[in-house]
Structure 1
Amino acid sequence: MNRSLHSSLKAVDVKLKRGPAGLGFNIVGGVDQQYVVNDSGIYVSKIKQDGAAGEDGRLQEGDKILAINGVNLENLNHREVVDLFRTAGNDVELKVLKKSSHYTNGLYGSEPDHDSSLSSLGLLALVTAGVAVAAFIYFRGRGYLTDGKWKKR
C-alpha cells in the first residue's frame, strides 16, 4: 500500500489477553515475504473463532498490524515478528490499520468493489448463454436441426 493512503486511515489499538491457544490468529508478510505488492507489512491472514482475537471480534482478516506492545513492525522480516508475538507476554497491545475496501491492492485486489447487482446480472447472462449453447448442441446431435432447418425424428 502507498504510505499516503496510510495517513488517511486511522490506526486503532486492540488489546488482547493471550488464551490457552495463544492469541488466536495467523499472520503473513514481512520484508522477506511480501503479502501485498510494494508493502512489507504484517497482515492478519486467519482468525480462529474460538481464540482470543475471534472472541474479542475487533481484529479482522486483512487488517495490517503496525506495532506489538509499542514495537513498530516496519522493516522486520516475518520470523522477527513471529518472535515478537511469542515473547509479548499475556497482555498484548496491537496497533492495527483496519482493512479498507477503498484502499487495497495486491492480493486484496486493485480495483474498488463493484455493484453486486451488476455482477449478478452478468453471471445470469453467462449461465443463460451456456444453457442456450448446450441446448443447441443437444438438439443438433439428436437430429432435430440439420441444414439450418428443424426436423422431427
Structure 2
Amino acid sequence: MNGSLHSNTVDIKLKRGPAGLGFNIVGGVDQQYVVNDCGIYVSKIKEDGAAALDGRLQEGDRILAINGVKLEDQTHKAAVDLFRTAGEDVELRVLKKSSHHINGPSDTQADHAPSAPYLGILAVLTGAAVAIFAIIYIRNNRRPF
C-alpha cells in the first residue's frame, strides 16, 4: 500500500464485552466485498456493543490488522477465527472510510460499496416531490363551475 492510504489509519483498542466486540465483518480473498479488493471491512456495528460504545469504528472501515496480525490475503473464515481468538483486549489497525473523494479518483474502493439505502431514500424523496407538484398543479388549474 502506498503512503496516502495510511493518512486515515488509526489504532483502536477495544475490550471484548458480553456480546463480543460488537461488529460484523465482510470480505477476504475468498469473499471480496469490494471489487478487486481482498480487504476485511466492517459491515455492521451492533448497538450497545464494545465498538459502538467506543464510537471510533464505523461501517465501511477497513480492518488492516488485529493484535498486530495483518489481515491482508486472509480468507473470510481465517479473519473471523482471528477475531474469535483475539482475547479480551483487542487492538485494531483500521483504515477509516474516506468520504472526501466520492466524485474523484480514490486510493481505496471502500466508497464503492453498495448504497441501496441511499437509493431508497432518494426514491421516496422523488416520489414526495412529484406528489407535491401534482397537488399544486391540480389546485392552480381548477375551474369554477
* TM interval, short-chain normalised: 0.7 to 0.9
Q: How many residues align?
A: 128
One-letter amino acid of the structure 1 residue matched with residue 31 of structure 2: Q
User: Which residue of 44, 68, 71 maps to 1:70?
Assistant: 68
The question of 1:107 aligning with 2:113 is answered yes
1:89-100 equivalent positions in 2, closer than 5 A? 89-100=87-98
One-letter amino acid of the structure 2 residue matched with residue 47 of structure 1: I
Paired position in structure 1 for 2:40: 42
Considering only aligned residues, what root-mean-square deviation do their CA atoms show, in Å?
3.2
Aligned CA distance change for structure 1 residues 6 and 40 (closer, same or farther; 3 Å): farther
Please report the TM-score for the alignment, with normalisation by the length of structure 1: 0.69
Secondary structure of residue in 1 paired with 2:78: helix
Paired position in structure 2 for 1:12: 10
User: Which residue of 126, 131, 136 maps to 2:134?
Assistant: 131
1:8 deviates by: 5.7
Distance, in Å, in 2 between the alignment partners of 1:4 and 1:129 is 50
Aligned CA distance change for structure 1 residues 123 and 33 (closer, same or farther; 3 Å): same
Paired position in structure 2 for 1:116: none
Q: Verify the 8 A CA contact 2:38 2:72 in the aligned structure 1.
A: yes
1:19-38 equivalent positions in 2, closer than 5 A? 19-38=17-36
Q: Verify the 8 A CA contact 2:98 2:111 in the aligned structure 1.
A: no
Please report the TM-score for the alignment, with normalisation by the length of structure 2: 0.72
Aligned CA distance change for structure 1 residues 4 and 46 (closer, same or farther; 3 Å): same
One-letter amino acid of the structure 1 residue matched with residue 10 of structure 2: V
Distance, in Å, in 2 between the alignment partners of 1:6 and 1:108 is 24
Paired position in structure 2 for 1:54: 52
Distance, in Å, in 2 between the alignment partners of 1:53 and 1:66 is 16
Distance, in Å, in 1 between the alignment partners of 2:80 and 2:24 is 10
Quick check: which has more Rg, 1 or 2?
1
1:126 deviates by: 5.5
